[in-house]
Amino acid sequence: MEFRNLKKQYEVYKREIDAAVGKVLQDANFISGSQVSELEAELAEYAGVKHCITCANGTDALQLALMAWEIGPGDAVFVPDFTFFSSGEVVPAVGAVPVFVDVEKDTYNIDPLKLEEAIRKVLEEGKWTPKVIVAVDLFGQPADYPAIREIADRYQLFILEDAAQGFGGRIGNKRACSFGDIATTSFFPAKPLGCYGDGGAVFTDDDQWAELLRSYRIHGKGRDKYDNVRIGMNSRLDTLQAAILQVKLKHFEDEIGAANQVAAYYQKALAEAEQIEVPVVKEGYTSSWAQYTIKLPAQKRDMICSLLKEKGIPAMIYYLKPMHCQKAFGDMERLALDYSVTDDICNRVLSLPMGPFGMEDAKQTAGILADICNC
Ligand SMILES: *Cc1c(COP(=O)(O)O)cnc(C)c1O
């Protein structure tokens, strides 16, 4: 069994994908082919945002946003304590200080109350200037943007929406990548919209930031890439990946629907199982189900994970370690903030096989898991 059924997905789209890839190979326009700008227009329309700027991966996408805003030494950037490393990694990469913030115990997303506490502490200390809130749409569910926007307005901060896992999610009818002042996503193969290698994108409604992002991603280009007006990076989405994504984007809404059916199956099948807490999606929110993540009793989680693996079920732990415990951030000065929720859930979470083509896998997984937990 695959954790995310990518082989099945390829089987279903094989004819279309092979044709799209074949065309790129024939035209030999491997970098900046017309498929890239077409895809950017399609992605912007899908997300409901004016500009989409594709790039090499979701980590670069986050860093490009911080570069466009000129975030650097002396600036504080608020990042959830429970997320993938990239969300925090890009902050010291531009010379700024990451301030980690605890998450909500039911949605796993940044806790707006604790966010405001952290901002106040940074202001009281007076060492750093609060600049950006990185809000992560973890496991596919958008963060609490109504509350986060209020806080951002109150303290005059930018919201950087990290929708690497959240593409395809919604609050009401508004789609992920439209909530941040700048938003980013990743096309890593296992993300909700994945390509066949690395890829990413940045979204914004702001014309000036869009122009800066287009410059930074290609060596800080001015008129062209041989006229260099700032220090940038080399971060492009290649034409092959764009062609593959054009095919997959056509089927994406159907996939979000199918993933939600798989999630609904799990919710029902696991609701009665002892010891299992199923994930919570807020009223009015739609998840794109990058992960289906349950909570187990801390002292049994690793044992249940091993038993599942023995039976051929590839369960995974996302994430084992809070950001504030990662050695890479270790020598940074930090404030005495409360991380009790992240500390707890890191000991309890388990992600199960999930994806639009995973209904059969979910049935098998839920059956075996219920047996393990009920005996
Ligand atoms: C995957 C991921 C990223 C980084 O994306 P890459 O394309 O792998 O660089 C950033 N943030 C989160 C929350 C992610 O899950």
For residue 177, what are the CA distances in angstroms to 55, 88, 93, 152, 161? 15, 18, 23, 17, 7
| One domain for residues 137 and 280 | no
Between the CA of 371 and the centroid of ligand 1 the distance, in Å, is: 34
Cβ atoms within 10 Å, residue 73: 9
The reply to whether 261 and 365 lie within a common domain is: yes
Among 112, 364, 55, residue whose Cα is nearest residue 234? 55
CB-ligand 1 contact for 84 (6 Å cutoff): yes
Domain that holds residue 326: 253-374
Q: Is the CB of 107 under 6 A from ligand 1?
A: no
For residue 58 and ligand 1, the question of a CB distance below 6 A is answered with: yes
pLDDT digits (tens, 9 = 90+) for 75-105: 999 999 999 999 999 999 999 999 999 999 9
Percentage of the residues of the chain whose pLDDT score is greater than 90: 95
Residues 209, 261, single domain; the answer is no
- Based on the fold, state whether residues 221 and 263 are members of the same structural domain: no
Is 271 found in the same domain as 207? Answer: no
184 within ligand 1 shell (Cβ under 6 A): no
Angle CA 206–175–260, to nearest 5 = 160
Beta partners for residue 182, in sequence order:
160, 204
Q: Is residue 364 part of a domain?
A: yes
Answer whether 313's CB lies under 8 Å from 100's CB. no
Choice from 59, 66, 79 to test ligand 1 binding pocket (greatest atom count within 8 A of CB): 59
- Note whether 227 and 312 are same-domain residues: no
For residue 63 and ligand 1, the question of a CB distance below 6 A is answered with: no
Query: Which of 86, 191, 291, 316 should be mutated for ligand 1, with most atoms under 8 A from CB?
Result: 86
Quick check: 88 and 109 in contact, CB under 8 A?
no
The predicted structure's pLDDT at residue 225: 87
State in Å: Cα 227 to ligand 1 middle.
31
Residue 333 in this model has a pLDDT that exceeds 70: no
- The answer on 279 and 223 residing in a single domain is no
Which domain-ending residue is among 195, 219, 250? Answer: 250
Is the confidence at residue 193, as pLDDT, over 70? yes
Residue 105 is assigned to a structural domain of this protein: no
pLDDT band at 374 (very low <50, low <70, confident <90, very high): confident
Q: State how far the Cα of 123 lies from the Cα of 155, in Å rounded to an integer.
A: 10
Q: Say which CATH number the domain at 144 has.
A: 3.40.640.10
Is residue 332 over pLDDT 80?
no
Q: Say whether both 48 and 157 belong to one domain.
A: yes
Spatial separation of the C-alpha atoms in residues 42 and 247, rounded to whole Å = 11
pLDDT band at 334 (very low <50, low <70, confident <90, very high): confident
Please give the average per-residue pLDDT across 208-228, as a whole number: 96
Final residue of a structural domain among 250, 267, 285: 250
Supply the pLDDT for residue 336. 85
Ligand 1 centroid to Cα of residue 201, in Å, is 11
265 and 221 in a common domain = no
Q: Measured at the alpha carbon of residue 167, what is the angle toward residues 174 and 119, in degrees to the nearest 5?
A: 75
Residue ending a domain, among 250, 283, 302, is 250
Whole-structure pTM over 0.85, yes or no?
yes
Amino acid code (one letter) for 119? I
Are residue 68 and residue 175 in the same domain, yes or no? yes
Q: Are residues 79 and 194 both part of a single domain?
A: yes
Alpha-carbon distance values, 51 to 173, 236, 345, 370 (Å): 19, 16, 36, 46
| CB of 265 closer than 8 Å to CB of 359 | yes
pLDDT tens track for 106-128 = 999 999 999 999 999 999 999 99
Number of domains in the chain: 2
